[in-house]
Each structure stands twice: as C-alpha cells, then as structure tokens.
C-alpha cells in the first residue's frame, strides 16, 4: 500500500503500471467529496474507493488491502462534468469569429464554408483537440454533435478520435448542411453501430443527430417519423439541434402528436418556444440541453437560456459548450453564465414589486453540469455523480490553491472559484487521464503541428 498526494509522480507510475489490472484499486482519502448524489450530498474528510473502473465505496476510514492510496486532504472530489452538445470537429477554428452576432453568419461561414473542405483527417484532428481540451477542463463525458459526416471515413475519423483520447464519448451522427457528400447518412448508422458500438458496456455510445426543422438545410436532416424510426430500430437516442422559435414550437407539437418525444430525445437550446411546446416537453419527459453562452452571445431567438421555462415543466436540463468558433471551451464558464443570467432575470422580473425572485443556486448549476447532463445523454446509470456502482469519472480539485483557499463552501468553490488550473487529476472509467495538472499521453508539439496543418488546409481551400 503506497500513500502519496494527488500530484505525486510515484503514485502515477504505480497507477499506470497496474492500469491493465481489472482488480486495480485506488483509495482517495481525506477529501471533501461533493457526490452530487441526492442521497449523499457533501461529505467532509471522507474516502472514496475505486476498483477497476467502478466506485465501490464512499465513506470515512475506508481500508483496502493492496490499494494505491492517494492522500486527497485539501482537495475536492467531484463527478466529472458532462457536455451534452459540442460540435467537436470545429476545434481547429477556435475563436475564429469571437464576435459573431447572429446564427446566419455562423451557418454561412462555418457550415456552408469551412465544413465543405474538411477531410477525414481534419475531422479527426478537430475532434481529438476538442476531447483533450474537455478532459483538461474536467469534462469526462462529451456528446459530439458530429454534423459534418460527408463520408463513412469522416464518421470513422470522428469516432476514432474519441477512442484515442479516452474520454467517455457520445457520437451523435448527422449529415452535413451544405456541399457535396455521399448521402450515406442515416443509413450508415447501422454500420457505425456494428463497428464501434456493439457493446452496452463501453466508453462510447451512439446517437442520431438531427435538426428541428427544414429551414436551414432541407427536410433530409429534420427530425420526424423516418429518423425517429431509424433511431428506435437501432435502439439509440436522438439529439435535435437548432430548437428555437415558432417553427420549432410547431414541430414539437407535431412530434408530441406522433409520439416522437420522450426521455431518449434531447432538444438543444429550446429558446423562444411557446408555452404549448414546453407543456408537451414536460409531459413527455423529453430532455433539454442548454447552451448558455451560445444563446446569449450569438443571440439565438430571445438570447436567454431557457432555464426557467425548463424548470417550470419539471425538466432539469444538461449544459453544453456548442461551437468553439465563437465560445469558451469549458463547463465552468457555462455554469457561471447560467447562474448569473438566471438570477439577473429573476430579480429583474420582480423589480418594483413585492414578489420574491426565484433564483437558482450554485448547487443547481453543478447538478445541471453533472448528474442532469448524464441523464440528458442517456447515461445517468453510468456517470454524473459519485455513487457506489457508477463508473469512476471524477475530478480532484485543489481547494487550497491561491484562488480557492480557504474552503468555506465546497459547491460554491467548484462553481464560482475553480477553473482548469485547479484540476490536479481527472479519472475517466477509472483510468487516469490528467495528473499533476497535465493531460497524459499527449505529445503537445506533435498535436500542435497537426492542428496547425489542418487549420492551414481548411482556411487555404477555395471554398472556405
């Protein structure tokens, strides 16, 4: 039994040496554990045991013979964050249009322009960069809304990038909006499932991705009976993007009538919807993925993340990053943006009256970023909380760093105080993916060369 802190190279060496042992155990001791499990809450000075890929015990004074013991005193253990919607292939175009002010500008520059010249290798590089960045900032599960599946090879490259990074990945496949492509989607989903998603007990899961209406890219990509039938025959969930405004509200009403809503369907954004649409969402148990900075910064419909509307019908949403061409890459930004916007809106609504504002809390937004995100992605039984029996997707956050000490409120410290520099370790499925503040297994100079070469191709191509 070896004991050392969560930044120890010696402990990392032991963990890596025993990584192939399915019985390997890791015991974190003396941490403040933010479980995000409704039945457990926050545990002070507690221990957490990981055996293989699973959390097997949480509590005080745990003992496990042969375990690698990590002294986690002065740290917070939390579930990994869950990103419910990111267009990962765009990562080499980060912040290329930071002040974009409407959806049309994004669509025409990125989807009608850059996307059309992407090769499979560009898909791989962008998705790999996005996933590694997600791990670095504490996102252990990422839904990649991969809407540039021009060929089978493009789809394979995106999936293999998720595999190679070790993230818990959800590949949501959709055909491209514009340009030439093989029209292999959605038929190719059967091949993808057989090739990459044959087991239910693996890091990767598959979903069908679609748009809410045919306004942007035509009827082939719009969710409806045919795509719903495809997803149900394959036994996979559906993620629907660009859900906003009157036309999406009308589509939701039709989906409800046709029985196409439910817990296996996620609607993304959901801004500017009618009360009737929200009623149908709530009654059907359909999940919602909010994109707080995307809605506000790009100005999608009302530009206000639909958190109050979701809560009013009993839906606790997940959170997402969306497009890195214009937005931040991390979940801390999404939590803080939503927390501030909702509380501002709540107070503003009752200003000048004697009514009390209905504010969300830091616990709410951390719940959205973890457990509710997992539920939205169809993975609530697997991840999203530190619960015995769930997979070991967890973060070690330094609570005594300059920007976090002293530790007064654990959840407040995670949501309002911390950022990627405070995450000393990240485990995904029991495997160490970040240690001592560094993402493991990344040749940064080589990755930088790959990213820059891919960007040069995309930006240098005539269509872009």
- Where are the domains positioned within the chain? 2-79+382-439, 81-376
Can you give the pLDDT at residue 1?
39
Taking the C-alpha atoms of residue 86 and residue 298, their distance in angstroms, rounded to an integer, is 15
Can you give the pLDDT at residue 2?
43
User: Which residues, other chains included, contact 444 with Cβ-Cβ below 8 Å and sequence gap of 6+?
Assistant: none
Taking the C-alpha atoms of residue 222 and residue 220, their distance in angstroms, rounded to an integer, is 6
Question: Is the domain 2-79+382-439 a CATH 2.30.40.10 member?
Answer: yes
Angle between helix 188-196 and helix 225-234 axes, rounded to 10 deg: 20
Report long-range pairs for 441-446 (Cβ below 8 Å, ≥24 apart): 441/166, 442/132
Taking the C-alpha atoms of residue 430 and residue 55, their distance in angstroms, rounded to an integer, is 8
Q: Give alpha helix (H) positions in 98-167.
A: 103-106, 120-136, 152-165
Q: Are strands 287-290 and 139-146 parallel, antiparallel or unpaired?
A: unpaired
Taking the C-alpha atoms of residue 36 and residue 41, their distance in angstroms, rounded to an integer, is 6
Full pLDDT tens readout for the chain, 464 residues: 344 566 677 888 888 777 777 788 999 999 999 999 999 999 999 999 999 999 999 999 998 888 999 999 999 999 999 999 999 999 999 999 999 989 999 999 999 999 999 999 999 999 999 999 999 999 999 999 999 999 999 999 999 999 999 999 999 999 999 999 999 999 999 999 999 998 887 999 999 999 999 988 889 999 999 999 999 999 999 999 999 999 999 999 999 999 999 999 999 999 999 999 999 999 999 999 999 999 999 999 999 999 999 999 999 999 999 999 999 999 999 999 999 999 999 999 999 999 999 999 999 999 999 999 999 999 999 999 999 999 999 999 999 999 999 999 999 999 999 999 999 999 999 999 999 999 999 999 999 999 999 999 999 966 65
Cβ-contact 37, 389 below 8 angstroms = no
Pick 81-376's CATH classification: 3.30.70.890, 3.40.50.620, 3.20.20.140, 3.20.20.70: 3.20.20.140
Whole-model pTM?
Answer: 0.96
User: Which residues, other chains included, contact 274 with Cβ-Cβ below 8 Å and sequence gap of 6+?
Assistant: 246, 249
């Amino acid at each position: 039994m070896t004991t050392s802190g969560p930044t120890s190279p010696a402990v990392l060496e032991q963990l890596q040496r025993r990584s192939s042992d399915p019985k390997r155990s890791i015991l974190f001791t003396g941490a403040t554990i933010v479980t995000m499990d409704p039945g457990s809450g926050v545990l002070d000075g507690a221990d957490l045991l990981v055996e293989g890929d699973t959390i097997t015990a949480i509590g005080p004074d745990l003992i496990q013979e042969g375990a690698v013991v990590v002294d986690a005193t002065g740290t917070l253990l939390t579930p990994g964050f869950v990103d419910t919607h990111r267009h990962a292939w765009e990562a080499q175009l980060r912040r290329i249009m930071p002040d974009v002010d409407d959806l049309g500008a994004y669509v025409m520059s990125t989807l009608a322009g850059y996307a059309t010249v992407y090769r499979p290798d560009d898909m791989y590089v962008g998705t790999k960069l996005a996933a590694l960045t997600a791990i670095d900032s504490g996102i252990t599960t990422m839904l990649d809304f991969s809407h540039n599946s021009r060929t089978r090879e493009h789809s394979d490259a995106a999936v293999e990038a998720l595999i190679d990074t070790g993230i818990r990945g959800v590949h949501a496949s959709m055909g491209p909006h514009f340009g030439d492509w093989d029209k292999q989607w959605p038929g190719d989903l059967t091949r993808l499932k057989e090739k990459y998603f044959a087991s239910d007990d693996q890091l990767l899961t598959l979903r069908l991705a679609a748009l809410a209406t045919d306004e942007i890219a035509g009827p082939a990509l719009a969710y409806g009976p045919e795509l719903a039938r495809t997803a149900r025959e394959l036994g996979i969930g559906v993620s629907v993007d660009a859900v906003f405004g009157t036309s999406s509200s009308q589509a939701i009403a039709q989906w409800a009538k046709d029985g196409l809503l439910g817990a296996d369907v996620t609607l993304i954004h959901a801004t500017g919807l009618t009360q009737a649409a929200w009623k149908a969402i709530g009654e059907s148990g359909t999940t919602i993925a909010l994109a707080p900075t995307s809605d506000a910064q790009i100005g999608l419909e009302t530009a206000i993340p639909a958190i109050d509307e979701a809560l009013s019908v009993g839906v606790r949403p997940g959170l997402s990053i969306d497009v890195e061409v214009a937005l931040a890459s991390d979940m801390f930004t999404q939590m803080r943006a939503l927390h501030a916007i909702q509380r501002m809106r709540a107070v503003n609504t009752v200003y000048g009256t004697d009514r009390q504002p209905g504010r969300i809390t830091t616990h709410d937004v951390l719940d959205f970023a973890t457990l509710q995100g997992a539920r939205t992605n169809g993975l609530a039984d697997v991840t999203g909380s530190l619960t015995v029996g769930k997979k070991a997707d967890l973060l070690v956050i330094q609570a005594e760093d300059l920007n976090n000490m002293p530790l007064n409120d654990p959840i407040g410290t995670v949501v309002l105080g911390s950022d990627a520099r405070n995450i000393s370790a990240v485990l995904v499925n029991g495997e160490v993916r970040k240690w001592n503040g560094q993402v493991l297994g990344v040749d940064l100079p080589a990755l930088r060369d790959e990213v820059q070469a891919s960007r040069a191709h995309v930006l240098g191509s005539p269509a872009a």
